[in-house]
Structure 1
Amino acid sequence: MKTLTTALALIAPVHAGLRFPCSTLTTQRLDPVVEPGKIPSAHVHHIVGGNAFSATMEGDVGARATCTTCQMAEDFSNYWTAQLYFKHPTNGSYHKVPVIPVQPLLGGSDGAKSGLTVYYTQYDLTRDNLNQQKITAFKPGFRMTVGSPTEEGKPQVGLRYQCLQGQNRGPELDSFPTGPCSGGIFTTHHFPACWDGQNLDSPDHQSHMYNTIQYDGFLDAPACPSSHPVRMPQVTYETVWDTTQFNSLWQSGAPNPFVWSFEGSAAGTHADYMFGWKGDALQRAMDKSECFYDGCGSITKQAMSVANQCTIKTTVNEPVEGWLDKLPGR
């Protein structure tokens, strides 16, 4: 399987894209895509991005937000995943797993507080797609999900786990690592990139998009089908869950003790995306073709010390930290 590091070695200078850190905005039970208006939602999410985030979000999110926890100052989108918890093997209690910034590959994440790293790439980090069609940025009101908390079968394409040993990410896995990881657990959520050209959402929040990748999200992306003819940016989240403080509690030979906040199988990992870039900022970056990761100066960056000041009020007042007898909402 091609890892991200291997894929980076294949990048040609004509490819462009974005890679940037976003600090944590909030961790609570809200989900304006799958459960709009429901307070609280079914399970806890780890959320980054713009401060327009709430239980109900319609229309142009970027026009309403006034700050963002992301490095790209014109990006008021919201990005979220289920929260990871450690389940104590003896007494069955739960503890929220902290998040730490992804270590930089090209360009830093210095100053990020927890959070995750976001990619918007044109050609899945490969050099073999120079004849691909133009990349069209998302529209105001666009949203989508990848994965499902009810998934019990084979893990979906592009949803991967890696066991960090120091700075070594190790091989990509379909499920949780089977032993303690000295550097934490690294997760990747890679969204589809072919749009039907009409719907900003769909009943299952996925059918308006189509994934041409057959296995790994960072491999070549075939052309979009006629049913979903519009090529959009490849959106990917990377998160490092700091599981190290729980390694001493993981008894040798015992099953994996980590669970998502919905307490389903590892196959149920999932993520949500809600577009919120200002104006044509994202399209400007996707139109560039001379450099990678920074939009070739087309987008204003902010210091992470500024991004970290962006906050929202807690809507769902319930404990999500410390040792819990049960998962919130379960």
Structure 2
Amino acid sequence: MGRNTRKRRTPLATKIVAGAAALAVGGGGLVWANFYASAHEDHGGHNRTRSAGAQVATIDCPDVGQKIRDVPDRARGEVDGELATMDSQITDAYQRLATTRRAQAGDSQFVQNSILGPLKDRRKAIIDRIQLEINRAGGRADDNLDELAGCQGRPADQQQGGGQNGGGQDDGQNDDGQNGGGQNQDDNGNGVAGPVADDFIDINDVQPNSRNSRNGLAADGDGGSTGTFTTDCGVNENNLFNSDNLIAAPGVDNGAHHTHDYVGNQDNDAFSSDEDLANADTSCQNQGDKSTYYWPVLRLQDGTQEFDANDQGGGAEGNIGKILKPAQAELKFVGSQQGDVVAMPKFLRIITGDAKSFTNGDANANTSWSCSGFEDRQVTDKYPLCPEGSQVLRTTNFQSCWDGQNIDSANHRDHMAFVQEDGSCPEGFQAVPQLQVRLAYDIPTPTVENGQVQNPYAVDSFPEQLHKPITDHNDFINVMDEDLMNEVVDCINRGEDCQ
């Protein structure tokens, strides 16, 4: 599949940003929503009580990209671009939702008539173009895609699509900033939407071995290929950041609407071609590994004005505060419980997790949050509060079953699959080395008192996803040279631990 090779923009890390982030209307930023929902799992049988919020917390749109299947290769660039435009439409609609609270209070139909209705019309126009582009390229577009045009406003007490409980407390704050008598101040004093107190949990309150996730199963085991290969690519010492997504939105500036950390390949933005990746420098100690490894940054919402404080993807879209680099980034490839693994094809693309899990539901969520010393306690939809001296851990086990043909797919998922419960790959798929990413952070533990959280940390997110921990995700493009990939496979299949 060809990649867009338009001239690349200057990475955000090289920009000089003047002035502080404006977090109010008229200052170049946003006044964010006053009412939130919170996705969570049941931990130890505790049931949290929430007041019902009358206003809409965020915008919930069907994910068209995940429903698309038959897209000819020559139409994928155009389709990805259209999907990125839909993401921007949702971002714009959320901005309007967040900045019109007074109008909403005076008109019960304001959200529907002024935000959701026009959004549906704009989304339908793009869906029509997507269908046309697919058909022109020789594919067959799904005639039912039009059904995905409409979006909903999610109140603070509405359950999320994946069936997990949702909810948030009405903070009682009016548009003029006066407290209306509610329990929570929505923005923790920093002006952005989330995280809120209910997004955090003391790691001691998490039951050991209680995480229930369909995804992220570890592929390694005692009965198959038991070796490991670890590649050391640093922790982004070169300060390579941008808000692009080369896999999901190639050729689209700010396609992620949040900022990514990058290790490995150093030519990583939306306009990088496969040739660019192959010819780039790498931060990996083994220079044969030019793979790109990237994930959304974590930030400490402590008032720090970062380099992207006024930029799209950064402060202008609610991603504010001090960017926290991992103290350690372990990138390890492991084997299969059921037998040998085969080589990954060069330029294989894998997305794991779902940046829109808060509104999409948890079908593709693949997040594991924990604390060092408590690794048997894993949570998917909560940020852990770790004791002093314990690091916050983000762990991701990637899909490790490949369809044997494609380096990508129309929805960027169908060419890969997770192992089944017995460790085998689904029919038609074959085992490749499984990438496991373990990120460890030194983060001061936020204080949660009286339903409020002070100086929280949070993952960067699409604005309407409200910085929920369940939206964490991770991305990988294999750019190992053939000799190194063969070395990885041989090491794993021989049962050795290599690096």
C-alpha displacement of 1:237: 1.0
Q: Which structure shows the bigger proportion of residues in strand conformation? A: 1
C-alpha displacement of 1:174: 1.7
Match of 2:227 among 8, 12, 16: 16
The verdict on how the C-alpha distance between 1:181 and 1:100 changes in structure 2, with shifts beyond 3 A counting, is farther
The separation in 2 between residues aligned to 1:77 and 1:62, in whole angstroms, is 8
The verdict on how the C-alpha distance between 1:242 and 1:28 changes in structure 2, with shifts beyond 3 A counting, is farther
Give yes or no for the alignment of 1:240 onto 2:443. Answer: no
The verdict on how the C-alpha distance between 1:236 and 1:255 changes in structure 2, with shifts beyond 3 A counting, is farther
Q: Which structure shows the bigger proportion of residues in helix conformation? A: 2
Identify which of structures 1 and 2 has the higher relative contact order when contacts are C-alpha pairs closer than 8 Å and 6+ apart. 1
Q: Is the 8 A contact 2:459 2:467 kept in 1?
A: yes
The separation in 2 between residues aligned to 1:177 and 1:266, in whole angstroms, is 6
Which structure's CA Rg is the greater one? 2
C-alpha displacement of 1:83: 1.0
Aligned AA for 1:78?
A: T
Give yes or no for the alignment of 1:190 onto 2:400. Answer: no
1:159 matched residue in structure 2? 367
Greater CA deviation, 75-84 or 29-38?
Answer: 29-38
Give yes or no for the alignment of 1:100 onto 2:326. Answer: yes
The separation in 2 between residues aligned to 1:160 and 1:213, in whole angstroms, is 19
SS of corresponding position for 1:22: coil
The separation in 2 between residues aligned to 1:210 and 1:70, in whole angstroms, is 27
C-alpha displacement of 1:250: 2.1
C-alpha displacement of 1:209: 0.5
The verdict on how the C-alpha distance between 1:207 and 1:84 changes in structure 2, with shifts beyond 3 A counting, is same
C-alpha displacement of 1:69: 1.3
The verdict on how the C-alpha distance between 1:213 and 1:270 changes in structure 2, with shifts beyond 3 A counting, is farther
Aligned AA for 1:54?
A: D
2:248 matched residue in structure 1? 34
2:467 matched residue in structure 1? 264
- Aligned identity (percent) is 19
User: Structure 2 regions of 5+ residues with no counterpart?
Assistant: 1-208, 212-217, 304-317
Aligned AA for 1:87?
A: Q
SS of corresponding position for 1:68: coil
Q: Is the 8 A contact 1:122 1:234 kept in 2?
A: yes
2:448 matched residue in structure 1? 251
C-alpha displacement of 1:84: 1.3
C-alpha displacement of 1:62: 5.6
Match of 2:343 among 128, 137, 142: 137
TM-score (norm 2): 0.46
2:131 matched residue in structure 1? none
SS of corresponding position for 2:357: coil
Aligned AA for 1:172?
A: Q
Q: Is the 8 A contact 2:274 2:347 kept in 1?
A: yes
Aligned AA for 1:137?
A: A
The verdict on how the C-alpha distance between 1:168 and 1:198 changes in structure 2, with shifts beyond 3 A counting, is same
2:267 matched residue in structure 1? 52
The verdict on how the C-alpha distance between 1:93 and 1:233 changes in structure 2, with shifts beyond 3 A counting, is closer
User: Structure 1 regions of 5+ residues with no counterpart?
Assistant: 103-115, 124-128, 215-219, 296-330
2:332 matched residue in structure 1? 119
The separation in 2 between residues aligned to 1:117 and 1:93, in whole angstroms, is 25
**How many aligned residue pairs are there?**
256
The separation in 2 between residues aligned to 1:14 and 1:230, in whole angstroms, is 13
The separation in 1 between residues aligned to 2:420 and 2:442, in whole angstroms, is 29
Measured on the aligned residues, the alpha-carbon RMSD in Å equals 3.1
